[in-house]
Copies of this chain bind each other. A is one copy, B any other.
Amino acid sequence: MGVVHRYKGDGASEFDWENVEAGAYTRGGAVGGSMRVVIGPEDGAQNFAMRYFEITPGGQSSFDRHEHDHGVYILKGKARVLMGWEVHEVGPGDVVYIEPNEQHQFESIGEETLGFLCVVPPK
């Protein structure tokens, strides 16, 4: 059977869903982050995973470079995004595709916490 994870936030505080566990996101030097796997292996998903990240103002994701690509959708806040040697500023509704083996990093530059969905292929 498929799965529904109901949103149970109020739109303002940290986003949260029924039956989704929150974890710290500190890997690789990330600062100020939390992570939730909203669709993943525990739901039976074998072909992709959808994660939700929050990064408090001034915090940042790890500086990363790896074989898998990312599909990102910004839900709230603002980010400075490094992709290769280019820097972009993005906000709610913006879509970012990070290619395989492209160095990348997100920094939360707004006054509001940055929140984004990030899709990855299977490991």
Contacts and interface: CB of A to CB of B under 8 A. Distances in A.
Interface of A: 1-7, 9, 11, 15, 17, 20, 38-39, 43-48, 50, 68-69, 71, 73, 81, 83-84, 86, 88, 90-100, 102, 104, 117, 119, 121
B17 A95 contact: yes
B119 A1 contact: no
16 contacts: A2-B104, A3-B97, A4-B81, A4-B83, A4-B90, A4-B96, A17-B95, A44-B97, A45-B71, A46-B69, A47-B68, A48-B69, A48-B119, A50-B73, A71-B119, A119-B119
Contacts of A38: 73, 95
